[in-house]
Amino acid sequence: EAQVTQNPRYLITVTGKKLTVTCSQNMNHEYMSWYRQDPGLGLRQIYYSMNVEVTDKGDVPEGYKVSRKEKRNFPLILESPSPNQTSLYFCASSLVGNPYEQYFGPGTRLTVT
Amino acid sequence: KNEVEQSPQNLTAQEGEFITINCSYSVGISALHWLQQHPGGGIVSLFMLSSGKKKHGRLIATINIQEKHSSLHITASHPRDSAVYICAVRGCTGTASKLTFGTGTRLQVTL
């Protein structure tokens, strides 16, 4: 089954404790992206990757890191989480080309206390 | 002003009603997406449009590039259509990798 998976789905952590949210897709998609969703603000792009070893900042990259060592995986790293990073996070992937449909992961609800 | 504006923000309808959700954008785009977010949080892609009109079952999406406006219509609405509907636009050339989202329209369909 074609899908984007994220782990963990729910995470409560404390300020400053490094964490990684994993994202994996099995559709051989070149493009992967991370979004955060906050009430009243909608979805905002954090980072995206056009292919292996190619990453770029989205609209709200501060406080986040990503890596793309393999085509299927695109982890999101919070080196020192802060309460303002409490949010619902989505990973998405797609083929590269225009136009192209994005496939979304199930979301990770992160709470930083 | 946001680049992508949706209206209404909230919508309540009775089963069977015809529903229209609007999306206006202020930038040049290469495509427009309509997404559905279920109450559980998952997001699925409904349509991707660069011109004209698309239909899938009871859902119809239209776009007017000159007026920078798109509409999502639901015919014969049903309680299972209750969800948040999100419009997103994809930039042109150098920004084609970027999706900009509206804040969503929350639809509730009652019996």
Quick check: A99 and B48 CB within 8 A? yes
Q: Which residue of A has its CA nearest to B102?
A: A42
Closest-CA distance, B79 to chain A, in angstroms, reads 22
B49, closest residue in chain A (CA to CA): A99
Q: What is the tens place of the pLDDT at every residue in A12-33?
A: 999 999 999 999 999 999 999 9
Q: What is the pLDDT of residues A51-106, one digit of tens each?
A: 999 999 999 999 999 999 999 999 999 999 999 999 999 999 988 765 578 899 99
Which of A82, A81, A53, A83 is closest to A66 using CA atoms? A53
Instruction: Give the mutation candidate from A68, A102, A109 for the B interface (greatest B CB count, under 10 A).
Output: A102
Nearest CA distance, B30 vs chain A (angstrom)? 7
pLDDT digits (tens), chain B, 111 positions: 578 999 999 999 999 999 999 999 998 888 899 999 998 788 999 999 989 999 999 999 999 999 999 999 999 999 999 999 999 998 776 555 678 899 999 999 999
Are residues A60 and A69 in contact, defined by beta-carbon separation less than 8 angstroms?
no
B37 burial class (0-12, 13-18, 19+ CB within 10 angstroms)? Answer: buried
Amino acid making up residue A25: Q
